[in-house]
Amino acid sequence: QVHLAESGGGSAQPGGSLRLSCACSGNVFSIIVMGWYRQAPGKERELVAVKTSGGSTNYADSVNGRFTISRDYAKNTVYLEMNSLKPEDTAVYYCNARLYVTPESRTFDDIWGQGTQVTVSS
């Protein structure tokens, strides 16, 4: 069974910083993409940042220039450095991994973490 474990969420003031981490555990052959999504009350889940196995990145316009995603490929871990936080960043942040479980897998699996709350307020 593949599992994603998130940590690092909490409260911060506007302009502050938080660092989220997500570790993938279990038997996995290859992780194609790891990234972060978020969902605020009354809104749909949206992409925050993703990083492929090739190292390319994609950021939401709302966080570009403020957030930085990185991966430790040896540890199957992804991080999200969140700087210059704004109240509108308040949401539940979910880790995501798109992966092949075995070398024989013909299709990928999308695995989601439980989510970690990030609250930005004065």
CA pair distance 19, 100, nearest whole angstrom: 27
Could you tell me what percent of the chain has a pLDDT over 90? 92
36-47 confidence digits (pLDDT tens): 999 999 999 999
54-99 confidence digits (pLDDT tens): 889 999 999 999 999 999 989 999 999 999 999 999 999 999 999 9
17 band by pLDDT with thresholds 50, 70 and 90: very high
pLDDT at 25: 95
- Residue 3 scores a pLDDT above 90: yes
- Look-up: residue for tokens 């909490």? 10
pLDDT at 84: 98
Furthest CA-CA distance within the chain: 51
The token duo for 42 is: 């009354």
Give the 3-state secondary structure of the chain: CCEEEEECCEEECCCCCEEEEEEEECCCCEEEEEEEEEECCCCCCEEEEEEECCCCEEECCCCECCEEEEEECCCCEEEEEECCCCHHHCEEEEEEEEEECCCCCCCCEEEECCCEEEEECC
